[in-house]
Amino acid sequence: MDLWYLFLAFFIPGIVGYGGGPAIIPLIEIEVVQRYEFMTRQEFGEVLAMGNALPGPIATKMAGYIGFEVAGVLGSLVALAATVIPTLVAMILLLNLLNKFKDSPKVKRMTALIRPTIAVLLAVLAYQFFETSYFDAGIVHTIILVVLSFVFLERLNIHPALVIVGALAYGAIFLS
């Protein structure tokens, strides 16, 4: 039964998620953490951080790891297939239709209206991670990491993967 739930946990976000990995991460979090309880929010945050630090699409990396944790190699394959199938089918079936209407003002407006929804989903996920960090690491460490991450990402233009590795090092040194 875990394999079926694992399939659904990644297939459903793949169908309803629009805009790729960043847009479906909050949807995957709802399925994996809240609905099926395959892992805690903190564990999900750690998987997300590691997935962001590695090259390639985030959703497939997360699916492979979470699937493996839940049901081994077969679980990894099931989760990867569930992540890829919706996009693959959509590309095959809708490619001509999308090409035909890609310049349509209605399609452009629909796309513009989806963006705020995705932003809210990402903001809620960020708030949940901030809340977990606050309770697990304390306010001082959380503020230090937030400020340093902001400075490194926005002011010094350091690559996000290096910021994640730095935060992991900080946690290993000061929170272990």
Map out the domains of the chain as residue ranges: 2-100, 105-174
* Per-residue pLDDT tens over the stretch 57-95: 888 999 999 999 999 999 999 999 999 898 888 778 877
pTM higher than the cut 0.75: no
**DSSP at 145:** H
Per-residue DSSP letter, 151: I
Spans in the chain with pLDDT lower than 50: none
- Cα separation of 124 and 27, whole Å? 11
